Structure 1
Amino acid sequence: MQSWIHLFIDQVKATTLVEWLAVILGVAEVFLAKANKVWLYPTGIASTLISIYLLLHATLYAECLLSVYYVVMSIYGWYYWVKKRNQPPVKATYANRQEWLTTLLIVFAGWGLLYLILVKFTPSTVPVWDAWVSSTAWAGMWLLARRKIENWVLLNISNIFAIPLLYHKHLVMFAVLTLILFVVAIFGYLEWRRIINREKQDLDISKTLPSGGRGA
């Protein structure tokens, strides 16, 4: 146990300023996501661009592809959240059956595809592990872009596998960041559920009021 503590301390000391910047931006992003704020996207894009550089050096190629995908989905999500100026922003909701089928397709098809790419075209030493972390995160980010509450579930499935993977690759601060994201995602799910339930209650109340009462 003591040797693990010393290893952790040594890796923290070896953390570069670039890694710290990526971690700080990553923490800011997840708190913005928990608060349901659209600023999570520009913050996340900045963090991800830095992470791509760092993950390439760690030979986590599926994580790099995940990061590129994240940038694309962030741009899409940013637009989808705000839409046009005269339209209301998209509300947080539960995923429907079709969206769940799409989510599962992203997870398992993405896992297989990424595994094949890693085995055939990269010197990855953890292709199954790396591919799984990335495919589940892909699905989570797609749900996040659609403002579906289940995004927190998929992202935490990815996080729980990513923590030991990042530590194994000596990216200790990224592992710590992922642990923070795991905890915050739990509260994010609870917060979004509260928002959804409150909006449902408000809608139910408005339906029971007479037409004149709604404008009162």
Structure 2
Amino acid sequence: MQSLVDLLQDITQQFVAQSWLEAMAVILAIAYVWLAARENIWCWPCALISTAIYTWLFWEVSLVFHTLLNGYYLIMAVYGWQQWKKQESEHIPIQSWSMRKHLIRLVILTSIAFSMTAFAGMWLDSEYLYLDAFITVFSVYTTLMVAHKVLENWLYWIIINSFACYLYFAKEMYLTGVLFIFYVLFAIYGYVNWRQQLLGKRYASSASA
């Protein structure tokens, strides 16, 4: 195990030695989640460029599922941009799903992740294959929730990004690991901000009824 001092030194060295591509990906990734938390449509162009870069970076470190995930993010960046533009014109608000709806989807997503791991395990030998698969499956679904402005997406991201942070540190991708610490914090902010807006709109609707 690395000491805290050694870990901080490694992170500092990565900041110094990082490529301009990774630096750009990190900056745009932070911009994406910050803008998404504030319901700003420009989060999607930031996501488009950042994920294009990360698709290449994850391929370089042999995180197969994460490479495929970022390819999916490219498509979702375009889809999310279109959805939010449509929602802006039609004034579609933030929505909240029932616990039953979430539980059904959790069971389905977990089953898919186990199936993917069992299938991929026949060809791939990776220490973190299970974690890679689970993060990927749940990220795919949660990104769709963001595009449709489902409040609970932020709760999903808090859990997903926490596990992702552990994975990146384990893979010695310290810069990206630090990024995902910020992702967790932004997800908490996003949930609080969206929830306040949802409750405010519900209060306004009940007061005007």
Instruction: Report the 3-state secondary structure (helix = DSSP H, G, I; strand = E; otherwise coil) of the residue aligned with 1:62.
Output: helix
1:40 aligned to which of 32, 39, 43: 43
CA 1:172–1:125 in 2, change beyond 3 Å: closer, same or farther?
same
Change (3 A) 1:125 1:14: farther
Kept in 2, the 8 Å contact 1:92–1:147? The answer is yes
Q: Deviations over 1:174-209 (max 9, x none)?
A: 1111111110110110000010011001101110xx
Counterpart of 2:30? 27
Q: How much is the aligned-residue C-alpha RMSD, in angstroms? A: 2.0
Counterpart residue type for residue 162 of structure 1: A
Q: Which residue of 1 aligns with 2:113?
A: 111
User: Is contact 1:66-1:134 (8 Å) kept?
Assistant: yes
User: Post-superposition shift, 1:114?
Assistant: 3.1
Flag structure 2 segments of 5+ consecutive residues without an equivalent: none
Q: Separation in 1 of the partners of 2:50 and 2:107?
A: 27
Task: Answer with 39-48 or 185-194: which moved more.
Answer: 39-48
Stretch deviating more after TM superposition (120-129 or 59-68):
120-129
Distance 1:99 1:82 in 2: 26
Confirm or deny: 8 A CA contact 1:11 1:170 kept in the other structure: no
The corresponding residue for 2:192 is 190
Q: Is 2:76 the partner of 1:73? A: yes
Residue 149 (structure 1) shift: 0.6
% identical equivalent positions:
26
Aligned equivalent of 1:173: 175
The answer to whether structure 1 residue 16 and structure 2 residue 25 are counterparts is: no
Give the drift of 1:6.
2.3
Matched, 1:3 2:2: no
Deviates more, 1:193-202 or 1:137-146: 137-146
Distance 2:174 2:119 in 1: 26
SS at match of 1:120: coil
Aligned mates of 1:84, 1:136 — CA distance in 2: 24
Q: Do the aligned partners of 1:48 and 1:70 also contact (CA within 8 Å) in 2? A: yes
Pick which of 164-173 and 52-61 moved more. 164-173
Q: Distance in 1 between matches of 2:185 and 2:170?
A: 21
Amino acid at match of 1:25: L
In 1, are the aligned partners of 2:10 and 2:174 still within 8 Å (CA)?
A: no
* Alignment CA distance shift 1:30-1:76 (3 Å): same
Amino acid at match of 2:157: L
Matches within 5 A, 1:81-160: 81-83=84-86, 87-96=89-98, 99-100=101-102, 103-104=105-106, 107-160=109-162
Letter in 2 for 1:167: F
**Aligned CA distance change for structure 1 residues 56 and 7 (closer, same or farther; 3 Å):** same
Separation in 1 of the partners of 2:52 and 2:104? 27
Asked whether the 8 Å contact 1:139–1:154 carries over to 2, the reply is: no
In 2, are the aligned partners of 1:82 and 1:89 still within 8 Å (CA)?
no
